[in-house]
Amino acid sequence: MKALRSLLFIGLCCLLACSKSNEGGLTKTLKIGIDVYPGWGHAFIAEKKGFFKAKGLSVELVLKTDYLETVGDYANGKLDGAFLVFADAIYMNDQGVQTQVPYISDHSVRGDVIFSTPEVASVQDLIGQTIGVEGINSFSHLFVLQALNKHGVQEGDVFFKNINAQDILQEIEKGHIVAAHTYGPAREQALVKGLRPLVYSGEVKGIITDVLAMQRKVIAQYPDEVAALVSALYEAKAYQHSHPDESLKLIAESIGDTEASVASGINAVEYLDIEASRQAMRAEPQGELHVFGEIIADYYFRRGQIRFKQDIKEIIEPRFVESIR
Rounded CA-CA distance 228/26 in Å is 9
Bridge partners (DSSP) listed for residue 114: 181, 199
User: Hey, how many other C-beta atoms are within 10 angstroms of the C-beta on 75?
Assistant: 17
Rounded CA-CA distance 266/275 in Å is 20
Q: What is the CATH number of domain 6-109+207-323?
A: 3.40.190.10
Residue 30's φ and ψ, nearest 5 degrees, are: -90, 125
Rounded to the nearest 10 degrees, the angle between the axes of helix 223-242 and helix 244-255 is 120
Residue 72, judged by CB atoms within 10 A of its CB (0-12, 13-18, 19+), counts as middle
Q: Which SS3 state, helix, strand or coil, does residue 15 take?
A: helix
Rounded CA-CA distance 242/24 in Å is 28
Amino acid present at 30: L
Rounded CA-CA distance 93/73 in Å is 14
* pLDDT tens track for 271-297: 999 999 999 999 888 899 999 999 899
Domain residue ranges of the chain, discontinuous segments joined by +: 6-109+207-323, 113-204
Bridge partners (DSSP) listed for residue 160: 131
Topology of the domain comprising 113-204 = D-Maltodextrin-Binding Protein; domain 2 (3.40.190)
Q: Give the CA-trace dihedral at 126, 166, 144, 158, to 10 degrees.
A: 30
Which is nearest to 292 in space by CA: 208, 212, 214? 208
Angle at 181 between CA 178 and CA 187, to 5 degrees: 100
Q: Give the CA-trace dihedral at 129, 135, 137, 139, to 10 degrees.
A: -100
pLDDT 10s digit of each residue in the chain, 325 long?
444 343 333 344 434 434 343 444 687 999 999 999 999 999 999 999 999 999 999 999 999 999 989 999 999 999 999 999 999 999 999 999 999 999 999 999 999 999 999 999 999 999 999 999 998 888 999 999 999 999 999 999 999 999 999 999 999 999 999 999 999 899 989 999 999 999 999 999 889 999 999 999 999 999 999 999 999 999 999 999 999 999 999 999 999 999 999 999 999 999 999 999 999 999 888 899 999 999 899 988 988 888 888 899 999 999 999 999 7
Residue 200's φ and ψ, nearest 5 degrees, are: -100, 155
Structural Rg of the chain based on CA atoms: 19
**Are 6-109+207-323 and 113-204 in the same CATH fold?**
yes
Amino acid present at 132: G
Question: For residue 109, what pLDDT is reported?
Answer: 94
Angle at 185 between CA 179 and CA 188, to 5 degrees: 65
Residues with Cβ within 8 Å of residue 96, at least 6 apart in sequence: none
